[in-house]
């Protein structure tokens, strides 16, 4: 999907600060969610993703800043008055930790959440059926949640947030600790919902997932957005940087430090059997890299030069890898 700059903003955080015990969990945070997009909120653990979601969903009040939902300033509204205005009916939140009742069946969960939103039969029955189908849970309708495997629990957790057909779906790390099949089904269902018109905020620390499904990405660290844009826009920000990966025949204690000092090299990190160097105009630097390796008494077995990835962008912005 191409991004329309004039697409209406349907939810936002402006300069929002939220502190816990004096320490900011989000710090002057700015996020705009535009109608029809899948916005990826990408950040390492403790960067403030869950807090940002709790603020949007009205689960915690901000210390400072403005939060809007569908054009209404909700910063000052208590969660109760939000639901009176039915704003909460228009969003669905899939929490990071599945919030399920082990003794209720899959079908009972969906009816329970649907009734919370005021839905009654026959509409409720029909909505439950379509959500079960979307999340590949139809055959598990009568299974108790306590007997589901972790992938099915994640899918049920997501299904519960969908029965009332929210306009914005907010997912908080929905694929943690599950099998590849369930992961694929979750990603596919996010795409399907988006194609049907649902706007999505997808928080994750998995670069590959965010890159695969999001139309726009906001990279978050220490409670702030460092940069946002489409994947090509973000890659563009790396300018002339390239990524050089060299495999060498032995470990040399201070090689990484020596390479980091080379002109044009922005970053050098060590992986199990290779060194990864982010450098301006990589092809120009490669010969110098090989030379330095040789001078340190080692030999280059293989060298690859590629355009950098979003992982590299994150690295160059924060000095850390997403996983680290």
Positions that interact with ligand ADP (CB under 6 A) = 20, 25, 43, 45-51
The Cα–Cα gap between 27 and 9 comes to: 21
Tell me the closest approach of the beta carbon of residue 53 to Mg ion, in angstroms: 8
Cβ proximity to Mg ion, 50 vs 105, nearer residue: 50
Q: Which does 183 bind (CB under 5 to 8 A by kind): ligand ADP, Mg ion, none?
A: none
Please state the closest distance from residue 150 (CB atom) to ligand ADP, in A: 19
For residues 159 and 322, which CB has a smaller minimum distance to ligand ADP in the complex?
A: 322
Query: What CA–CA distance (Å, rounded) separates 82 from 39?
Result: 23
- How near is the Cβ of 48 to Mg ion at its closest, in Å? 8
Query: Minimum distance from CB of 195 to ligand ADP (Å)?
Result: 27
Residue 247: name the closest of 310, 282, 289, 288 by CA.
Answer: 289
Tokens encoding 151: 């992938």
Q: DSSP assignment, residue 145?
A: G
CB of 240 to Mg ion, least distance (A): 35
Choices 45-53, 60-68, 235-243, 251-259; region in contact with Mg ion by CB under 5 A: 45-53
Minimum Å gap between C-beta 44 and ligand ADP is: 7
Radius of gyration over alpha carbons of the chain, in Å?
23
Distances (CA, A) of 226 to 29, 141, 221, 317: 10, 43, 7, 8
Query: Residue 173 CB, nearest distance to Mg ion (Å)?
Result: 6
Q: Which of residues 129-148 bind Mg ion (CB under 5 A)?
A: none
C-alpha neighbours within 13 Å on the C-beta side of residue 280: 7
In the bound state with ligand ADP, the residue whose beta carbon lies nearer, of 127 and 158, is 158
Q: Which is nearer to ligand ADP, 50 or 269 (CB)?
A: 50
Task: Give Cα 251 to chain centroid, integer Å.
Answer: 35
- Under the binding rule (CB under 5 A), the answer on residue 50 touching Mg ion is yes
Rounded to the nearest whole angstrom, what is the least distance from the CB of residue 46 to Mg ion in the complex? 8
Phi, psi (rounded to 5 degrees) for 45:
-55, 140
Which does residue 45 touch among Mg ion, ligand ADP, none (CB within 5 to 8 A, set by kind)? ligand ADP
Residue for token pair 């002339």: 240
- Alpha-carbon distance of 250 to 309, in angstroms, equals 27
The smaller minimum CB distance to Mg ion, of residues 49 and 155, is found at: 49
Specify the 3-state DSSP secondary structure of 217: strand
Report d(CA 220, CA 74) in Å as an integer: 23
Residue 40 or 43 with smaller CB distance to ligand ADP: 43
Q: How far apart are alpha carbons 58 and 85 in whole angstroms?
A: 13
Residue facing Mg ion at closest CB distance: 50
25 binds, among Mg ion, ligand ADP, none (CB under 5 to 8 A by kind): ligand ADP
Angle of helix 106-116 versus helix 123-134 axis, rounded to 10 = 130
Which of ligand ADP, Mg ion, none binds 47 (CB below 5-8 Å, type-dependent)? Answer: ligand ADP
Which range touches Mg ion (CB under 5 A), out of 46-54, 259-267, 286-294, 308-316?
46-54
CA distances from 43 to 13, 122, 204, 267 (A): 17, 42, 7, 20
Q: Which does 93 bind (CB under 5 to 8 A by kind): ligand ADP, Mg ion, none?
A: none
101 binds, among ligand ADP, Mg ion, none (CB under 5 to 8 A by kind): none
Contact 154, 178 (CB under 8 A): yes
> Which residues form the interface with Mg ion (CB under 5 A)?
49-50
């Amino acid at each position: 999907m191409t991004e329309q700059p004039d697409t209406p903003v349907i939810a936002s955080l402006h300069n929002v600060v939220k502190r816990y015990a004096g320490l900011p969990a989000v710090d002057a945070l700015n996020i705009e969610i535009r109608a029809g997009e899948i916005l990826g909120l990408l950040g390492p653990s403790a960067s403030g993703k869950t807090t940002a979601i709790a603020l949007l969903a009205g689960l915690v009040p901000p210390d400072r800043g403005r939060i809007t939902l569908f054009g209404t300033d909700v910063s000052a509204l208590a969660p109760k008055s939000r639901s009176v205005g039915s704003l909460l009916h228009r969003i669905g939140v899939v929490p990071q930790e599945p919030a399920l009742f082990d003794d209720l069946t899959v079908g009972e969960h969906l009816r329970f959440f649907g009734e919370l939103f005021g839905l009654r039969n026959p509409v409720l029955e029909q909505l439950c059926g379509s959500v079960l189908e979307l999340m590949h849970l139809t055959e598990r309708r009568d299974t108790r949640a306590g007997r589901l495997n972790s992938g099915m629990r994640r899918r049920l957790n997501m299904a519960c947030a969908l029965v009332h057909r929210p306009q914005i779906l907010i997912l908080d790390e929905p694929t943690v600790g599950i099998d590849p099949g369930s992961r694929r089904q979750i990603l596919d269902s996010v795409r399907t919902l988006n194609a049907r018109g649902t706007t999505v905020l997808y928080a994750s620390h998995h670069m590959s997932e965010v890159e695969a499904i999001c139309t726009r990405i906001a990279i978050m660290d220490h409670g702030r957005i460092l940069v946002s844009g489409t994947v090509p826009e973000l890659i563009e920000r790396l300018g002339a940087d390239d990524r050089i990966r060299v495999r060498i025949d032995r470990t040399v204690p201070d090689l990484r430090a020596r390479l980091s000092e080379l002109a044009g090299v922005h970053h050098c990190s060590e992986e199990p059997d290779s060194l990864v160097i982010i450098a301006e105009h990589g092809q120009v630097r490669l010969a110098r890299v090989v030379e330095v390796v040789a001078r340190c008494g080692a030999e280059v077995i293989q060298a690859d030069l590629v355009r950098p990835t979003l992982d590299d962008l994150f690295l160059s912005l924060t000095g850390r890898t997403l996983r680290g």
